[in-house]
């Protein structure tokens, strides 16, 4: 639909987790029919849709790299542990498994602005509660926990890594966090190394006036 919410147009049937390319001419999504990643052109030209993966298994949260040449997503590996993968944005590509999670799931990847790293979060496969925010190089090296019980705590998820001139390194990571007993989930922000964590969307300080719902899965547009 338009930015004003007008003229909705159905693009695909039985698709979920849609994501625009940065050029805005395609969307990527997961098909409910076969759990594979597809891309589809927005102008209706052929051929479409194009199937990117073909290895079976449910996929979650596909996101395009800044140059639209790769797609990151999460999927259960051969041991049933959810991991972050990347795949070339072309039909028949072989996915590369980035993460090496063992006792937790790795999910909801987000590319760094220059496309050299990704952020993602972990969660507990038994309770499905989120855990830590991690970063990793796009070749699978250098995995690092940046938001964890030692430097902020909370249950953290859905990182969004964006250009931000207010950071000394030119970018920041926005994420969802639930901190403290009885606290609702809120939007926080941090520098990519985990420093300068702070609450980004503030609510009234008294519990009686606090919003009685979670702030969740932020999307950022900085100008």
Encoded tokens for 172: 């920041």
What pLDDT, on a 0 to 100 scale, did the predictor assign at position 11? 81
CA dihedral 193, 22, 70, 49 (to 10 degrees): 150
| pLDDT, tens digit only, all 223 positions of the chain | 777 888 888 888 888 888 989 888 899 999 999 999 999 998 777 778 999 999 888 999 999 999 999 999 999 999 999 999 999 999 988 999 999 999 999 999 999 999 999 999 999 999 989 999 999 999 999 999 999 999 988 999 999 999 988 888 899 999 999 886 656 788 999 999 999 999 887 766 555 555 556 665 666 655 4
Sign for the CA dihedral angle at 33, 38, 44, 48 comes to negative
CA 64 to chain centre: 10
The answer to whether 113 touches 66, Cβ cutoff 8 Å, is yes
The answer to whether 175 touches 198, Cβ cutoff 8 Å, is no
Encoded tokens for 14: 């039985």
DSSP secondary structure code for residue 34 in this structure: T
Domains of the chain: 98-209 (2.120.10.30)
Interior angle at CA 200, CA 199 and CA 206, nearest 5:
60
Place of tokens 């390319």: 21
Q: Which of 112, 111, 136 is nearest to 122 (CA)?
A: 136
- pLDDT tens digit string along 76-131? 999 999 999 999 999 988 999 999 999 999 999 999 999 999 999 999 999 989 99
Count Cβ atoms below 10 Å from residue 56 Cβ, excluding itself: 10
Please state, in angstroms and rounded to a whole number, the distance separating the CA atoms of residues 99 and 86: 10
């Amino acid at each position: 639909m338009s930015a004003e919410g007008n003229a909705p147009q159905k693009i695909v049937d039985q698709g979920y987790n849609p994501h625009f390319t940065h050029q805005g001419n395609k969307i990527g999504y997961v098909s409910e029919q076969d759990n594979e990643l597809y891309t589809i052109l927005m102008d209706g030209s052929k051929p479409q849709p194009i199937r990117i993966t073909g290895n079976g298994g449910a996929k979650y949260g596909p996101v395009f790299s800044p140059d639209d040449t790769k797609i990151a997503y999460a999927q259960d590996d051969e041991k049933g542990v959810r991991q972050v993968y990347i795949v070339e944005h072309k039909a028949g590509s072989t996915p590369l498994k980035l993460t090496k999670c063992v006792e937790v799931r790795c999910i909801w990847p987000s590319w760094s602005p220059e496309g050299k790293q990704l952020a993602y979060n972990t969660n507990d496969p038994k309770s499905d509660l989120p855990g830590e925010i991690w970063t990793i190089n796009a070749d699978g090296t250098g995995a690092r926990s940046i938001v964890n019980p030692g430097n902020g705590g909370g249950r953290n998820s859905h990182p969004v890594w964006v250009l931000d001139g207010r950071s000394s390194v030119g970018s920041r990571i926005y994420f969802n966090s639930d901190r403290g007993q009885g606290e609702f989930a809120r939007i926080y922000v941090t520098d990519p190394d985990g420093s300068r964590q702070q609450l980004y969307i503030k609510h009234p300080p008294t519990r009686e006036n606090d919003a009685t719902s979670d702030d969740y899965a932020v999307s950022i547009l900085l100008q």
